[in-house]
Amino acid sequence: MPAAARLHGIGDLRVEQIDAPPPPTPGWSTIDVTSVGLCGSDLHWYTDGGTGEVTLDRSVVPGHEFAGVAVDGQYAGRRVAVDPAIPCGTCEQCRAGHGNLCPDVRFAGHAGLDGGLQESLVWPDHLLFPLPDSLSDDAGALLEPLGVAIHAVGVAHVRPGDDVLVAGGGPIGVLAAAVARRTGARRIFVSEPLAHRRETARRFGADDAWAPEEAAAAVESLTDGRGVDVAIEMAGVDDAIGTAVAAVRPGARIALGGIPSVPLSAFPAAVARRKGLTFAMVRRMHETYPRAIELATTGLDLDPLVSHRFPLAEAPQAFAHAVARTGDKTVITLPR
């Protein structure tokens, strides 16, 4: 029987034997999973039992950043990246082209839909994206967080010549900085409490990175008191929103992409009001895989972002390691 890592409760992740996936129906394919990245939201489910107001009410197989090999279907025998979101396709938001805002979306590893931390599963063909030979399986899995970063930069309205601050230097924040660079941003700064992640941000193209308590003053100095044009928050904590508010110029835009562990977020409203700031929310991603593949094959090397790899049998240890945040991206690999 195939194996899977199933989350039963807070801190209770078990590697178990499960039934093989059912034969695929027309329009779906069987995928043998090869690589799964652990996202910050996965860690919230593991440590907090949910994200915000959404809680773990039944056991689930986590994992929404994943790639594999199509066993059957139109891509049989090919390596593919998997878009984890399955919008309904019929609601007002889907009909308007905003599937990422679908209220009835099914999402891998959430709300009872088992995700990628299993040896094989079936998935819709239209959400599979063949991987070029130049991309590794791990890079295929990281196309999902890269897609979130692409969407965040778009929501932030980054323009050529902008100065940009990314608050939160985890993997998606680092990728947002890299995407902002390729969008034409003039200077890119990162606020991040962990020194090794600040260094990763610099390697991925940030002009500089500072601890959060230093960021606003550093930005003020480097911009002659003006502030940055855009901020992208990717930490999911109120302090990061506060850093963004302090660092931007009047009239700036702040995109909030971090996922908090509590339902409510707060920010310095008086300063934000005086500056006339615009806040925009980042909801996952929106049809970004083609752009992500283009970036990943034209100079944005995703593999160096992976700092640690674990086999599926050691998934509990992988989660514990990722929670400690001693590295960058933690990946769980499955043999083909």
Per DSSP, the residues of 4-26 read: EEEEEETTEEEEEE-PPPPPPPT
CA dihedral 67, 69, 71, 74 (to 10 degrees): 80
Which pTM was predicted?
0.96
Instruction: Please state, in angstroms and rounded to a whole number, the distance separating the CA atoms of residues 228 and 54.
Output: 34
For residue 65, how many other CB atoms are within 10 A of its CB?
Answer: 32
The pLDDT value recorded for residue 333 is: 97
Mean pLDDT by runs of 10 across the 336 residues of the chain is 94 95 95 97 89 82 98 97 97 95 94 93 98 98 98 98 98 98 97 98 96 97 98 97 98 96 92 98 94 97 98 98 96 91
- Measured between alpha carbons, how far is residue 19 from residues 3, 29, 273 in Å? 8, 17, 55
Task: Decide: 40 and 235 in contact? Cβ < 8 Å.
Answer: no
User: Which among 284, 323, 311 has a CA at the least distance from the CA of 33?
Assistant: 311
The pLDDT value recorded for residue 110 is: 87
Provide the 3-class DSSP secondary structure of residue 147: helix
The pLDDT value recorded for residue 19 is: 92
The pLDDT value recorded for residue 261 is: 84
Query: Could you give the angle at which helices 171-183 and 195-203 cross, rounded to 10 degrees?
Result: 30
For residue 71, how many other CB atoms are within 10 A of its CB?
Answer: 16
The pLDDT value recorded for residue 288 is: 96
The pLDDT value recorded for residue 251 is: 98
